[in-house]
Amino acid sequence: MRLAAFAGLCGLAAWRYAAVEVPAPAARALLVAAIATAAAGAMIVPVRVSERAGLRTRRQIILLRGGAIVLALVIALLVIGVPAHLLLHPGRWGHLAHELDEGLQAIGTTLWPYAGHDTWTRLAIRVPLVVLPLAAAAIGFWPGRRLEARRVAALALLLTLYVLGVIDSNDRAFTLEGLALVVLVAAWLWLPGMRRRRAGAALAWLGLAGALAAVLATGLGNRPPWLDYRGWNLLGLRTAGTTFAWDETYGPISWPRTNRVMFTVRAARRQFWKVTTLDRFDGLRFVRSGTNAGSDHDLPLPLNDTWYAFATVTIRGLEANPLPSEQGTTLGLNSAAPIVHDADGTARAAGSPLHDGSSYTVLSYDPAPRPAELRAAPRKYPHEYLRYTDFDLPAPGQTGLDVAASDPARAGRFLTSRTIGAPAAGSSPGAVPAVRRRILDSPYGPMYRLARKLAGAARSPYDVAVSIESYLKANLGYNEQPPRRRYPLEAFLFEDSTGYCQQFSGAMALMLRMDGIPARVAVGFLPGSYDAATHSYQVRETDAHAWVEVYFSGTGWVPFNPTPSRVIGRPQRFPLYESSRTVNALQALSATVGSARASSGEQRPKPPAARPRHAGALGAGWIVAAAVLLLALAALVGRWLIGWVRLRRSLAGDCELACAELARALRRFGYATAPTATLAQLERLVWVHAGAQAASYVRLLRERRYGEGAARVARLRDRRRLRRGLSARLGLDHRLRGLWALPPGTLAWRVGGLAGAAGRRAQVGGP
């Protein structure tokens, strides 16, 4: 029976954990669960086989069981997809470990559920699917001492596997699955040792608990948390939030890389969450100049009505200034706090940064074109976008070894004596021979040659961008601790060949500018992980990211992500169109915004208001459930107080109720006592099975009931010693049974109504 319960638990946990991948390897997961169940059965079989074959030594039995676990481990690893030529050849285990380690590096920052195509990342994700069930089988079924404790440990391992699947999958409803889990847990812990006469009551209590939990679970997913541990404010001190410096430095990563949630977003689709843009290359790095003429110039005409979107952002652990918004061009924010739009379109709080729990709604113009539309975009673009082809050549004293030596971001400054750029839209800076010689004579000469080579066979700016993006992904590796170099981007391409998102985005944006294509670096966060319970994206510290935006005539700024997808997952470069409901809701807004762009005199529309969150609002079902819980709690408290008073009176008086409780408790513990047993006989029984301290409670009851009145009154601590003595050696099930038979501080249930009959049974035949 316990093996069957283990099979159900293992299968459910493995099936749920398989959902962390898209598509889910459900068949592999269930097969691994079957292998773990067979290994659990093998923990018992070797004992019987050894007795028949005459193998009675402990070492041989251990070897048989250990061999079964090892064999199951090998078969399970083959089932999840580990290559046989690496697993079965000891000389290649080093290569296998290296590949799995490479796959593990992606897990900490990937998007969940994982939809990427890297084989070793998928294998690394599946490793817990093998290790946890087999460890649970070995711990829970290996014969020996402390079986109850080891079975609880095995259950904890399987529940860990199940919870990991729940957290990282996108399924929305777990009610029926949760009921099945409750039944399996109860069967694993109590079913094999349960008596038939108690099975009906156990099923009734289990059904009641499951039904109540199902009612409560229906509203948990869409409600604010009852207790938000991130918002604890101990002694009036607010926990400091995380801040980011967004200018690129290209040195080893030193900012936070934990899984702490920075903010949550409720939006119609998954995308990058942009904080600001870096538009100036100062000779070494991309920085924010703050010299944009305004976000209106980022909107191409005519506008596409289907490319408007809005999102609701809730700050959690981020010191939000500037504010994260959607990938596209921000048109407005609706917030209780005053918001300021800088010249380059970056939004920030006018006063202090927004605190934890603050929410605002963003309206943005977010192009989502298809590749064919981008290939058809003309090479010509408005004159004001020429500035996004400019870049500075390094000064003689500039060096990436000292970040402070590079030019600071100065408001209102963009051009210097070292700035070069495209002479006209559609041409490269090298179209002027003198400028071309300056570039080739600079430290960026090799990068310029590479950029022109990658653009040579491309027929459109889109093909150039794809060519550069593909080259970076295919030829350079990811490393968050690259060495500092005097010219970081040049060393990234031709010396180190490794870096992280800053190097990838900076190199692509600079090469695009060398080809005369308007480009800039966008900084912010990856889409994060989707929480189906709250219908929002959870964005964490590890999601901080930099990517590239390329301008296309008639479309606007389009994101490209040159960082290898193995590390950051596979976010869609061109997100799906909004649902028809979202499009219909925004068409009126887009028409008004378009007319405002045409200077019709109408006021810019305000973004849609954030959906109100009523932390204390409860539906009718919640009110009924809360009332039932309060009534049940009041009844239990009242019953406990009544039992406490009656128990104290009985111990100080004739002990009739206490004797009746004692006789009933012994029967609940499984002792077959005769109806005519005396208190002296019960005392002897307790002394033999539970010790002298436990038997002292029975002796005090006997002396009090049949003595002269001078006998010492039994106390609650004496009764507690009796309960501990009777249940100490019988496992977790009997400990819980002891709490039911002799509840702390109060009289057992139903003892009062049977006091007369039970008391007479306890005293028949004299003391």
Question: Which 3-state string (H, E, C) describes 51-105?
Answer: HHHCCCCHHHHHHHHHHHHHHHHHHHHHHHCCCHHHHCCHHHHHHHHHHHHHHHH
- Residue 28 binned pLDDT confidence (cut-offs 50, 70, 90): very high
How long a stretch of residues is the chain?
767
Residue 483 has pLDDT above 60, yes or no: yes
Residue 142 has pLDDT above 90, yes or no: no
The Cα-based distances of 230 to 241, 316, 320, 479 in angstroms read 11, 7, 16, 31
Structure tokens at 553: 């005539």
Cβ(452)–Cβ(516) below 8 Å = no
Structure tokens at 591: 């028409």
Residue 310 has pLDDT above 90, yes or no: no
CA neighbor of 261 nearest in space, from 307, 293, 229: 229
Q: Each residue of 335-356: pLDDT tens digit?
A: 777 888 776 678 888 777 787 7
- 525 φ, ψ (degrees, to nearest 5): -140, 150
Residue owning tokens 């009126």:
588
| 3 state SS of 262 | strand
Chain CA centroid to CA 146, Å: 34
Please give the full DSSP string across 80-91, using - where no structure is assigned: HT--HHHHS-GG
Residue 35 has pLDDT above 90, yes or no: yes
435 vs 179, residue with greater confidence = 435
User: Which residue blocks in 533-619 are alpha helix, DSSP H?
Assistant: 565-568, 580-597
Q: In percent, how much of the chain has pLDDT > 70?
A: 77
Bond preceding residue 113 cis, omega within 30 of 0: yes
- 331 φ, ψ (degrees, to nearest 5): -100, -30
Residue owning tokens 């399987």:
158
Q: 16-20, 173-177, 645-649: lowest mean pLDDT where?
A: 173-177
Residue 78 has pLDDT above 70, yes or no: yes
Mean pLDDT of 32-44: 89
Segment holding 736, helix H or strand E:
helix 731-741
Bond preceding residue 371 cis, omega within 30 of 0: no
- 380 φ, ψ (degrees, to nearest 5): -75, 150
Q: How far apart, in whole angstroms, are the C-alpha atoms of residue 701 and residue 237? A: 55
Structure tokens at 278: 């870096």
- 275: amino acid identity, one letter: V
The residues pairing with 354 across neighbouring beta strands, listed in sequence order, are 320
| Per-residue pLDDT, 132 | 93
Cβ(554)–Cβ(377) below 8 Å = yes
Q: How many Cβ atoms from other residues are within 10 Å of residue 220's Cβ?
A: 12
| Per-residue pLDDT, 45 | 65
- Residue 753 binned pLDDT confidence (cut-offs 50, 70, 90): low
Segment holding 419, helix H or strand E:
strand 419-420
CA torsion sign, 342 to 344 to 347 to 352?
Answer: negative
Q: 101-110, 381-390, 675-684: lowest mean pLDDT where?
A: 101-110
- Using only C-alpha atoms, what is the Rg of the chain? 35
- Residue 757 binned pLDDT confidence (cut-offs 50, 70, 90): very low
pTM over 0.75, yes/no? no
The residues pairing with 311 across neighbouring beta strands, listed in sequence order, are 267, 362
Q: How far apart, in whole angstroms, are the C-alpha atoms of residue 758 and residue 169? A: 56
| Per-residue pLDDT, 264 | 92
- Residue 109 binned pLDDT confidence (cut-offs 50, 70, 90): low
Q: How far apart, in whole angstroms, are the C-alpha atoms of residue 453 and residue 447? A: 10
Average pLDDT, the chain: 78
| Per-residue pLDDT, 458 | 80
Long-range (24+ apart) CB contacts under 8 A made by 540-544 are 540/258, 540/259, 540/260, 540/261, 540/262, 541/242, 541/255, 541/256, 541/257, 541/258, 541/259, 541/260, 541/262, 541/317, 542/108, 542/109, 542/257, 542/258, 542/259, 543/109, 543/262, 544/244, 544/255
| Per-residue pLDDT, 504 | 95
Q: Each residue of 208-266: pLDDT tens digit?
A: 777 777 666 665 654 555 554 444 444 334 445 677 778 888 888 876 677 788 899 99
- Residue 598 binned pLDDT confidence (cut-offs 50, 70, 90): very low
| Per-residue pLDDT, 634 | 87
Q: How far apart, in whole angstroms, are the C-alpha atoms of residue 259 and residue 541? A: 6
Q: How far apart, in whole angstroms, are the C-alpha atoms of residue 751 and residue 422? A: 94
Residue 565 has pLDDT above 70, yes or no: no
| Per-residue pLDDT, 217 | 66
Mean pLDDT of 687-698: 86
Q: 214-218, 316-320, 486-490, 571-575: lowest mean pLDDT where?
A: 571-575
Q: How far apart, in whole angstroms, are the C-alpha atoms of residue 561 and residue 547? A: 5
- Residue 658 binned pLDDT confidence (cut-offs 50, 70, 90): confident
Structure tokens at 586: 């925004």
Residue 707 has pLDDT above 80, yes or no: no
**Strand 308-315 to strand 359-365: parallel, antiparallel, or no bridges (unpaired)?**
antiparallel
Question: Edge-to-edge, what's the strand order for the sheet holding 261-267?
Answer: 329-335, 359-365, 308-315, 261-267, 536-540, 529-531
Q: How far apart are the first and last CA of the chain?
A: 44
The Cα-based distances of 381 to 49, 152, 372, 419 in angstroms read 82, 67, 18, 21
| Per-residue pLDDT, 343 | 63
**Of the ranges 140-154, 192-206, 208-222, 745-759, the best mean pLDDT one:** 140-154
| Per-residue pLDDT, 767 | 54
Residue 462 has pLDDT above 90, yes or no: yes
| 3 state SS of 558 | strand
711 vs 690, residue with greater confidence = 690
